[in-house]
Amino acid sequence: YIGTRAQETPNKPAIINANTGVAVTYGQLDLESMRVARLLHARGLRRGDRIAIYMENHLSYMAVIWAALRSGLCAVPVNRYFNAQEVAYVVNDCSAKAIFTTLAQAEVVSSLSDSIPNCQIRLIADGGLRG
């Protein structure tokens, strides 16, 4: 459990980006996942709700996963190579109430607004996009 690891070894790297060497510690991962879990709860998500994760290998990915696990939410990974139509299909099919993404997926995500009407919570881990 991430909370236990964070208490025992808060400064130990939990995730390391192999390309850049940037690391996220267990303490940081625990805090970030709690922050995301609180945000999702504040936005009305409850146990059993689904969130879609449309990200490349990003340091924030595991914080979203852990937020879902600690909140009783179902995380639905979406293939980062999918086009907008495929992403919309998965998001709609699983009835996701939120989608997490990154700026690297901006081109596809920018065209999703009208095609995922029931997924009102749209979050970008490393920036912002209109809509």
Does position 3 have pLDDT exceeding 90, yes or no?
no
Per-residue pLDDT reduced to its tens digit, 21-66? 999 999 999 999 999 999 999 999 999 999 999 999 899 999 999 9
Per-residue pLDDT reduced to its tens digit, 66-106? 999 999 999 999 999 999 999 999 999 999 999 999 999 98
Cβ neighbours for 16, distance < 8 A, ≥ 6 positions apart = 22, 23, 24
Of 3.40.630.10, 3.40.50.980, 3.30.460.80, 3.40.50.970, the CATH number of 2-124 is: 3.40.50.980
* pTM, two decimal places: 0.90
Domain limits, the chain: 2-124
